[in-house]
Structure 1
């Protein structure tokens, strides 16, 4: 079979103005999509960012990559004792991870026991890489060391689905996976009126009714937003990133406030 390529139309939108603790930049952004209205829609938002001196203020709150393993024990008490032993050996486990590469570092772990199963969710920093494979290699080394040195447990799986990768879950939003980013924009009332043709109060009310109450009724998981996934998928496809990670990227919370006529608008995305 001949190699084939699926082409997706792409356009650059913006520029968008961004400031904060990781970037001070005004740049265009590539979006690949068949949903052509996405380009002018994002472009309108980018234009608003340039009308505000600070633009969109992006704060990187946390950054980590996770991989969970699970082991079997004879019973829950044995699993519990094993979890205490893992915790006591944290510095030892950090040294194991440092042998796996120059850029991977163990920064924490979380455990959960169900019946006789012990799930261990390891968190790593992975330099500039997203770090999925790096975290898996490190977790594999940790699992081997734990099985060799802690009695009463046996191999379960190198991935216990408690990480969690490409699934909409609560744990990523609570404990973090990938980049946890908060973006904020304060739009003066004149721009809200002249450019958005509405008021801050109307946007704030709609956000509560639609994004918060509507999502609550739908049973959303760690979400209160309109459609983060639209723009993220376009960006992921344009830049060659793993498109399946929009599952986590679709989670997040939009907040809108009326501040004496000015519009405070914020998006919190904990799983980028």
Structure 2
């Protein structure tokens, strides 16, 4: 069997910022490492970062965190599947004893289920410390599945991954139940700052958000998503910090909400599915470790503290880019002029 040398696929990377972030998880000014081929992203996020900092900083709140894996089991009929679930749902402590055998950090915090015919889908939800947790929860799910098949002889194995997780697919379940870190970032921009730095008005941004992000996405059949380009910032940030880039599929399912408040612009981004970690797979490369240290995500904190900080900074970068793009799109010709200037 031939062995192929592992090579690198370089992606241009640049530090953007600083941006001021305030909140319980991050209270700091940070630079944002972004790796992307879309070079207009750097000045755009940079403009959003300057505006956010001048406005007093982005308020960031971590609402929830959990990593999921769903398993699929089959019973003889729906009655057997329901009986198994009713018993299983009362045995979380027994299940956590099994989970503890697989990891020091994984902990089962919740479960959800669906029954289709004789098939039992179980969505297992864990906390995973500072790791994103893909492998951690899959190993825990595998051990739990083995235990279930012993404890409940009426069940049989079908799959270790049942697509009810849901991993790297656009679904409603992740937005409803959560997968990864759920983060909200908010900013209030004074009217004069909005007009001077963003070349637009609070009313124009709010109007465009309704007509483009909300109504336009509804017409397109979007799933729990109303944003202009979350995926751009997520991909750039994920590549720069050693994340599994395919998770931008569910990560980009987020919502922009903005209002005019006493003449100023209130602007927010809500991201319920940010799957990031400061340790684990993808973190061994030198530039990744350098970026994580730069972001303050390699410190001696309580388990999960570095990953929560990383998620907040990631969400802040999304707000900066989203704000700048929406402002640009309120002005005819501005978006394309920027691309021509920086990319041709």
Q: TM-score range by the shorter chain?
A: over 0.9
Match of 1:160 in 2: 162
Q: CA deviation at 1:2?
A: 4.2
In structure 2, list runs of 5 or more residues that go unmatched. Answer: 275-344
Which of 98, 108, 117 aligns to 2:119? It is 117
Residue 10 of structure 2 aligns to a residue in which SS?
A: coil
User: Is the CA contact 1:183–1:267 (under 8 Å) kept in the aligned structure 2?
Assistant: yes
Match of 2:215 in 1: 213
Q: CA deviation at 1:174?
A: 0.3
Which of 45, 58, 64 aligns to 2:60? It is 58
In structure 1, list runs of 5 or more residues that go unmatched. Answer: none
Deviation sequence 1:154-195 (CA, Å, 0-9, x none): 011111111011111100000000000000000011111111
Aligned residues: 271
* Structure ranking higher in helix proportion: 2
* Structure ranking higher in strand proportion: 1
User: Is the CA contact 1:82–1:151 (under 8 Å) kept in the aligned structure 2?
Assistant: no
Match of 2:181 in 1: 179
Q: CA deviation at 1:151?
A: 3.0
Residue 65 of structure 1 aligns to a residue in which SS?
A: strand
2-structure distance, mates of 1:164, 1:269: 15
Which of 102, 108, 113 aligns to 1:106? It is 108
2-structure distance, mates of 1:39, 1:119: 43
1-structure distance, mates of 2:170, 2:122: 19
1-structure distance, mates of 2:260, 2:18: 26
Q: Give runs of aligned pairs for residues 28-39 of structure 1, distance below 5 A.
A: 28-39=31-42
- Bigger CA drift: 58-67 or 198-207? 198-207
User: Is the CA contact 1:256–1:266 (under 8 Å) kept in the aligned structure 2?
Assistant: yes
Residue 89 of structure 2 aligns to a residue in which SS?
A: helix
Runs of 4+ in 1 over 3 A off after TM superposition: none
1-structure distance, mates of 2:186, 2:201: 18
Q: Give runs of aligned pairs for residues 77-88 of structure 1, distance below 5 A.
A: 77-88=79-90
CA RMSD, Structure 1 to Structure 2 (Å)? 0.9
Match of 2:17 in 1: 14
2-structure distance, mates of 1:14, 1:210: 27
Q: TM-score of the superposition, structure 1-length normalised?
A: 0.98
1-structure distance, mates of 2:232, 2:5: 31
